Chain A
Amino acid sequence: DSGVTQTPKHLITATGQRVTLRCSPRSGDLSVYWYQQSLDQGLQFLIHYYNGEERAKGNILERFSAQQFPDLHSELNLSSLELGDSALYFCASSATQGDNSPLHFGNGTRLTVT
């Protein structure tokens, strides 16, 4: 058990809809990262938050947004969903934002857009 909790485990929704994925980091970890894993794109970094502030953006679409709250949990919001957004979304946390602070991954949220 990595200590990172993601909810829900599975989500099925229709095109055009909006969903929110939630992540609770390991106790004491200040950094949260979001990754998308799809069959065609592999594992792609989306965005990184540290102690409530955005630190880096990767291949995140404009339809997607995220935030990290004062209690350090994070939410990833996906809107105007398309079939191609179907993927496994992982959250990871680390103690700091420094290089090589180990990342701990949650078990992911599987999103299916129909």
Chain B
Amino acid sequence: GNSVTQMEGPVTLSEEAFLTINCTYTATGYPSLFWYVQYPGEGLQLLLKATKADDKGSNKGFEATYRKETTSFHLEKGSVQVSDSAVYFCALNGGANNLFFGTGTRLTVIP
């Protein structure tokens, strides 16, 4: 079956620190992979995606590379800002756009 395992949080970093949030998946075939972000009081927003192996998704300084060999899609950012504080969800497309989400990782960035 389809599942996503995500790094447990919460994660607290100082501004300008390097961020990594680990994500691994189990799926049949090679699904598209996504990172969504949820700011307080809001719905989820698509942050980035990758649709095939070795693709790199990027947006707003965040990056993630689809690694088929390790079934991973880790999220990275070189220098986080206070405004990046949010909950981050890794997800895979189980077919027909039905997404399977990880449990979410709460990131807090302190000045």
Contact = CB atoms under 8 A, between A and B. Distances in A.
Interface in B42-61: 42-46, 49, 51
Contacts of A98: 96-97
A100 B51 contact: yes
B101 interface: yes
A101 B43 CA distance: 17
A83 interface: no
Interface string B19-59: 00000000000001000100001111110010100000000
B71 interface: no
Nearest to A90: B43
Given A90-B43, A105-B45, A108-B43, A58 B89 contact: no
Interface residues of A, number: 26
Chain B interface extent, by class: 20 to 34
Interface in A25-43: 31, 33, 42-43
A67 interface: no
Contacts of A56: 96, 98
A31 B97 contact: yes
B109 to A, nearest CB: 23
Contacts of B51: 100
Question: Sorted from nearest, which 7 A-B pairs have the closest CB atoms?
Answer: A105-B43, A43-B101, A42-B103, A105-B44, A107-B43, A106-B43, A56-B98
Contacts of A106: 43
A86 interface: no
A18 interface: no
A61 to B, nearest CB: 17
Given A99-B32, A99-B93, A100-B51, A107 B41 contact: yes
A99 B43 contact: no
Contacts of B96: 48, 55-56, 97-99
A94 interface: yes
Given A33-B98, A42-B104, A2 B45 contact: yes
A43 B90 CA distance: 11
20 contacts: A33-B99, A42-B102, A42-B103, A43-B101, A43-B104, A44-B101, A45-B98, A48-B96, A48-B97, A56-B96, A90-B43, A97-B96, A98-B96, A98-B97, A99-B32, A100-B32, A100-B49, A100-B51, A102-B46, A105-B43
